[in-house]
Amino acid sequence: MKLKENMGQTDRIVRLVLAVVFAALYFTGTVSGTLGIVLLVLAVVFAVTSFVKFCPLYLPFKLSTKK
């Protein structure tokens, strides 16, 4: 099943930058515990959605940042 892309280039770049920042905060020990795990999970989600160019949360709202 092919998912229809709904993420533009800027959206993808912002998500990737946030994913790197969140992962860096976790792996350097700046943020730990529950908050660290939450940020790490968000980093993975942001990275995956950036690479597949699809955000499932956009579907119910019929949003798209793709031009």
For the stretch 10-43, pLDDT in tens is: 999 999 999 999 999 999 999 999 999 999 999 9
57 within some domain: no
23 within some domain: yes
3 within some domain: no
SS3 29: coil
Mention every residue, 6+ apart, whose C-beta is less than 8 A from residue 55: 6, 7, 11, 49
Alpha carbon distance 49, 15 (integer Å): 8
According to the model, what pLDDT value does residue 1 have? 66
64 within some domain: no
Q: Which domain does 35 fall in, by range?
A: 9-51
47 within some domain: yes
58 within some domain: no
Count of alpha carbons within 13 angstroms of residue 11, beta-carbon side: 18
Structural domains in the chain (count): 1
40 within some domain: yes
Query: Which of 48, 46, 54, 67 lies closest to 5 in space, CA to CA?
Result: 54
Alpha carbon distance 50, 16 (integer Å): 7
